[in-house]
Chain A
Amino acid sequence: MAIRKDANSLTSAERTELVDAIKVLKAEGVYDQFVLRHANTPMGDIHRCPAFLPWHRRFIWDLERELQRVSGNTDLGLPYWNWPVGGADASMWENDLLGGDGDPITGVVLSGPFREGEWTIVNSSGSAAGSLTRAFGTNGFATLSTQADIEQVLAVTPYDSPPWLAGSAPSFRDQVEGWTGPNLHNRGHVWVGGSMLPMTSPNDPVFFMHHCMVDKVWHEWQLRFPGQGYLPESGATFGQNLTDPMAGTPAGPVGSRPIDVLDSAGLGIEYDRLMPGTPGPVDPGDDEIELAVGAPPTESAIGMPGEIDVYRFEVASFGSYTLQTFGDSDTFMTLFGPDDPTAEVTANDDAGERLNARIVRTLSAGTYHARVRLYDPSRTGAYRIQVVRNSTDGGDAGPVIPELVIDAAATDGVIAVNRESDLFRFVVSVPGNYTVETEGATDMFLTLFGPGSQTDRIASDDDSGVGLNSRIRMFLQAGEYFARVRHFSSFGTGAYRIRVAAG
C-alpha cells in the first residue's frame, strides 16, 4: 500500500522517483490533462462549495495512480506539503524535488527540476504559456498555516451548512478552503503565488502536495468525528449532494460522486502519521447500529449538530418493507443497499407522521444501511426508528417474485426510476449449463443468486450480451435461483426483456 509522507521526509531516491514520474507524465501529455481538467471545470462546481473536498480527493488520487503506473511502483504515495514546517527553507523546496522560489523580478523558477527550460506550463486551452513562476509570501499572505490554525479548523463541525457557499458557517469545508477562519487551502495557493494563483494551478507540481495536505486534514477530521458525514445529502445544487456525480470527474475505478470517495481507507490512502488527537482509522461498520426487522422502535438521538446515525439491517427475503422514524424531531433518512453501503436506494424527508421520515419499498434480500440526520444540521433531537415487513391481505407473504420459465419467451420488464432493480426467480430441475440474459436497448446489469438463496451471489455481468445487455452462462445445480437486474447507471431507466435458456 502506498503511504503518503511529509514531502520534507522523502529520501533522495524517493525524490528522484517522484520527479522522474512527474516528468514522464508531462512528456506523455497526461500531466497537462490534469491541468486542463482542473482549469476547465466550472469554478463554482469545485470551489466555494461542498464538493470542494471530495472533488480534489478524487483528482489527486487519480494523479497518484498515474504516478504509480509510470514508475512501476504501486507503493509510490503522493507526498503532502506539511504547511507548518513547509516554509521557504524546507527541504521540499530544494533542487532535488520542487526547486525554490521564483526570480525576485520575473517570478520565473530558475532552480530545480521544474525550472525555466525544463518545464513549460499551459493555459486553460492547453497552449504553452511560458515558464513556471512563484513568488513566496508576496501576494497577501507572508506566512503559511500553523499547527494551531489546523487544530482550530479541525474542531469545526458540521462538514458544511447552507447556503453551501463561500462563507457558509459553521462549516469545516469552508474553513479548510479558506473563506472563513484561519484559511488553510487558499493561503497555500496565495503564499506560493505565480502559477499557483489561477485555475491552471496544477501547472506547479506543489499543487498536488498542497491538496494532499488538504485531504489529510479532511481525513483526520473524519477520524475525529466519525458521526459527522458529508453534507448535503440532498437539496443543494446538482453536483454538490452526496450521491450526485461531480463535475469534470471522469469514470474510473471508483465512482465520481462524493459518497464514492468518503472512505480514505477504501481508496487505499494511508498517511505516514496523524496529528496528536486524531484516533486511528476504524472500521465504518463498527459505528453502525443494528436494527432487527419487526423489532420495536429503537430509541436514538442526534446529540451534536450535523451528526449522522448509521443503521444496518438484514432483509432475509424479497418483500415490501417500511423504514420510518417517530418522535418530535424533523428527521431525514437515506437508504442504501442491498449489500453496498454506497448504493443509494432512496431518501425521504417528511413522508412519516408530522416531520418524520418514512420509506416504503420493495426490497430484495440483502444487507441495507440507513443514514438518519436532522433536516436542519444545526439542531439536535431524539427520535425512534423501526423497520418492519409489510403484510398483505392479513398475511406475511409480501409481493410475489415474478418467475422465469426456462426456455420460455422473454419476460418484459422496465427500470422506471433511478436506482430501481427488479428481481426474478427460476427453478432448475436438471443440472446443466444455463444462460440468463437481457435483451433490448437498455444498458443492463445482471446478478445471479442461489441456489436456494437470494443473497448468495454466484455471478454478475454487465455487457456480455448483445449490445449493452448482460449475459451469464454457467453450470447450475438443481435448485431455486434469483436474478436481479438493474440499469448499469444509477441514474438510468429503460425497458428490457429477460430470459433463461438451457445450454
Chain B
Amino acid sequence: MAQYSETFQGCLIEIDDDNTLHIDGKRIDPVYDNGRGKWSSRYLPYTEYDSLIDLGQAIVRDTEEFTGDSQ
C-alpha cells in the first residue's frame, strides 16, 4: 500500500493508495476525472488539480474547514 503524509500549514495530509485523502484525520472524498486527468473535491468546486497532494494542500490553504480557526 503506497502511503504519503506531510504536514502543511499545520495540517496533516495523508494519502493512501493514490486515491484516499485525509486531512487532520478527516476523510476527504476526492474525485478523479479520467477524461481530464485531474483531481477535484466538493471543497473546491471551481478548480482542479494534477495530484492528490496538490488538492490536499489547496483544501488546507483555501477552505474555511481547515483554516478558519487560524484567522
Query: A121 — which chain B residues lie within 8 A by C-beta?
Result: 64, 68
Bound-state Cα–Cα, A95 to B28, Å: 38
Query: Interface residues of B, CB < 8 Å — how many?
Result: 22
Contact, CB under 8 Å: B62 / A197: yes
| Chain B binder among A122-130, A323-331, A387-395, A469-477 | A122-130
Q: Which residue of B lies closest to A194 (CB)?
A: B62
B36 at the interface (CB under 8 A from A): yes
Judged by a CB distance under 8 angstroms, whether A44 is at the interface is yes
A129 touches B64 (CB 8 A): yes
Picked from B33, B42, B64, B67, the residue with its CB within 8 Å of the CB of A166 is B33
Give chain A interface residues in 124-154, CB to chain B under 8 Å.
Answer: 124, 127-131, 133, 140
Looking at B35, B40, B63, B67, the one whose CB has the most chain A CB atoms below 10 A away is B63
Q: Does A157 contact B (CB under 8 A)?
A: no
B29 CB, nearest partner CB in chain A, Å: 10
Question: Is A357 part of the binding interface, using a Cβ–Cβ cutoff of 8 Å?
Answer: no
A123-B68, A129-B71, A166-B33 known; A189-B46 Cβ under 8 A: yes
- Decide yes or no whether A199 CB sits under 8 A from chain B: yes
What are the nearest 8 A-B pairs in CB distance? A129-B68, A130-B71, A129-B64, A43-B42, A123-B64, A198-B63, A189-B46, A197-B62
CB nearest neighbor in A for B38 = A166
Q: Given A44, A124, A186, which contacts B46 in the complex, CB threshold below 8 Å?
A: A186
Inter-chain CA distance A238–B48, complex, in Å, is 24
| CB neighbours of A77 from chain B (8 A) | none
A167 within 8 A of B: yes
Given contacts A131-B71, A186-B46, A198-B44, contact A124 B36 (CB under 8 A): no
Q: Please, how many angstroms separate the alpha-carbon atoms of A199 and B69 in the complex?
A: 17
Tell me whether A197 and B33 are in contact (CB under 8 A): no
A42 located at the interface, meaning its Cβ lies under 8 Å from any Cβ of chain B in the complex:
yes
Known: A130-B64, A130-B68. Is A167-B43 also a contact (CB below 8 A)? Answer: no
* Residues on the A chain within 8 Å of B36, using CB: 166-167, 179
Which of these, A123, A165, A167, A190, contacts B47 with CB under 8 Å?
A190
* Residue of B whose beta carbon sits closest to that of A107: B71
Given contacts A190-B47, A197-B62, contact A108 B42 (CB under 8 A): no
Interface residues of B in 11-61 (CB under 8 A from A): 31, 33, 35-36, 40-48
Do the beta carbons of B64 and A124 come within 8 Å of each other? yes
Say yes or no for A171: interface residue by CB 8 A criterion.
no
Nearest CB in chain A: distance from B62 CB, A: 4
CB closest residue in chain B, given A121: B64
Q: Tell me which residues across on chain B come within 8 A of A186, comparing CB atoms.
A: 46-47
When C-beta atoms are compared, the residue in chain B nearest to A35 turns out to be B64
Q: Is the CB of B64 within 8 A of A200?
A: yes
Contact A190 B71 (CB under 8 A): no
The contact sample of 30 A-B pairs, CB cut-off 8 A, is: A43-B42, A43-B45, A44-B42, A47-B46, A48-B40, A121-B64, A121-B68, A123-B64, A123-B68, A124-B65, A127-B68, A129-B69, A129-B71, A130-B69, A130-B71, A133-B71, A165-B33, A165-B35, A167-B33, A167-B36, A178-B46, A186-B46, A189-B46, A190-B47, A197-B44, A197-B47, A198-B43, A199-B42, A199-B45, A201-B46
**A275 CA to B71 CA, complexed, in Å:** 42
From 194 to 217 in chain A, residues with beta carbon under 8 angstroms from any chain B beta carbon are: 194-195, 197-201, 203
Docked pose: A222 CA to B26 CA in angstroms: 43
Contacts of B63 in A (CB 8 A): 123, 197-200
Chain B residue nearest to A122 in the complex (CB): B64
Which residue of A108, A166, A178, A201 is within 8 Å of B71 (Cβ)?
A: A108
List A contacts of B47 (CB < 8 A). 140, 186, 190, 197
* 14 further contact pairs, Cβ within 8 A, besides A121-B68, A124-B64, A200-B64: A43-B42, A108-B71, A123-B63, A130-B64, A130-B70, A166-B48, A167-B36, A179-B36, A194-B62, A197-B63, A198-B43, A198-B62, A199-B44, A199-B63
Closest to A187 in B: B46
Identity of the chain B residue whose Cβ is nearest the Cβ of A128 in the assembled complex:
B68
A131: chain B residues within 8 A (beta carbon) = 71
A348 to B27, CA, bound (A): 43
Query: What B residues does A195 contact at CB under 8 A?
Result: 64
Q: Give CA–CA (A381, B67) in the complex, Å.
A: 55
**Closest Cβ of chain B: how far from A167's Cβ, in Å?**
5
